[in-house]
């Protein structure tokens, strides 16, 4: 039994919601609309995460200075940082909790689109939604699956460039992050993951990835650079 089986009651609700859309729309479009509806509901959490990340980014130079000042006394550094966060009324974990809260929602959608069910019996331009890339045959199926992968790669490239810009920002240079050289390439992880899941899950990944890219562009507009870790996740 999968560890994600604990989510099955929530998956049943999500299945019913997509099925309701699918009564009046093609199932593939119903999946897209369902994912967009869920992401819209989660948008307040994304806004809270962005506010927290921006607050931490503004304090990054001061944090770096305190770490340099007390690098030989870790206890003193912790006390100074705690005082700084208390004075500025910013949590050192600002932006993390909202993202963690979103994980169960994404897990439900992942299980819905990867567990065999009647929704996967429908098609996207003639390609079964339950089909894996490894089982595809014929030019038509490869073309549809290729378009999904191309869309994911395009979004990954947009995120790759954004993460590179964030890593090159002065705040990132002041407080370099572990594994910063690898972070930009995580933007393409969804392309690799899509190879392992059915077409329905790849469609979900493309829809949620496009939403995430647009959402980040909006939340960090006006020349404000999002932290590289926030963009890579």
- Give residue 115's Cα distance to chain centre: 21
pLDDT, residue 169, reads 63
pLDDT, residue 180, reads 65
Take residue 233 and report the two structure tokens written for it: 């996740």
CB 207 within 8 Å of CB 30 = no
Instruction: List the chain pLDDT tens, one digit each, 233 residues.
Output: 566 678 889 999 999 999 999 999 999 999 999 999 999 998 988 888 888 788 877 888 888 888 888 888 888 888 888 888 888 877 767 667 667 777 888 889 888 988 889 999 999 999 999 999 889 999 999 999 999 999 999 999 998 988 888 777 655 555 555 556 778 888 899 899 899 999 999 999 999 999 999 998 888 876 555 554 444 44
User: Nearest CA to 47 among 5, 99, 84?
Assistant: 99
User: Nearest CA to 229 among 174, 169, 166?
Assistant: 166
pLDDT, residue 51, reads 82
Which ranges of the chain does DSSP label H, i.e. alpha helix? 8-22, 27-69, 74-88, 96-114, 139-168, 170-174, 189-194, 199-219, 228-232
What's the rounded Cα separation, in Å, for the pair 116 and 134? 17
Mention every residue, 6+ apart, whose C-beta is less than 8 A from residue 217: 162
Name all contacts of 205-210 with Cβ < 8 Å and 24+ positions apart. 205/152, 206/148, 206/151, 206/152, 206/155, 207/31, 207/32, 207/35, 207/36, 208/35, 208/39, 208/106, 208/109, 209/152, 209/155, 209/156, 210/151, 210/155
pLDDT, residue 207, reads 95
pLDDT, residue 115, reads 87
pLDDT, residue 179, reads 58
């Amino acid at each position: 039994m999968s560890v994600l089986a604990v989510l099955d009651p929530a998956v049943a609700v999500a299945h019913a919601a997509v099925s309701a859309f699918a009564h009046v729309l093609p199932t593939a479009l119903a999946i897209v609309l369902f994912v967009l509806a869920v992401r819209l509901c989660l948008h307040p959490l994304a806004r809270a995460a962005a506010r927290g990340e921006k607050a931490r980014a503004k304090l990054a130079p001061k944090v770096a200075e305190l770490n340099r000042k007390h690098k030989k006394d870790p206890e003193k550094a912790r006390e100074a940082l705690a005082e700084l966060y208390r004075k500025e009324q910013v949590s050192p974990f600002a932006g993390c909790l909202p993202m963690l809260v979103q994980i169960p929602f994404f897990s439900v959608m992942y299980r819905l689109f990867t567990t065999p069910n009647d929704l996967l019996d429908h098609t996207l331009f003639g390609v079964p939604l339950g089909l894996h890339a490894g089982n595809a045959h014929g030019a038509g199926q490869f073309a549809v699956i290729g378009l999904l992968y191309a869309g994911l790669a395009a979004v990954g490239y947009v995120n790759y460039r954004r993460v590179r810009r964030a890593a090159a920002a002065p705040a990132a240079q002041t407080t370099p992050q572990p594994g910063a050289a690898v972070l930009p390439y995580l933007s393409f992880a969804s392309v690799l993951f899509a190879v392992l899941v059915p077409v329905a899950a790849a469609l979900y990944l493309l829809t949620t990835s496009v939403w995430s890219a647009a959402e980040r562009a909006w939340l960090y507009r006006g020349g404000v650079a999002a932290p590289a870790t926030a963009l890579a996740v």
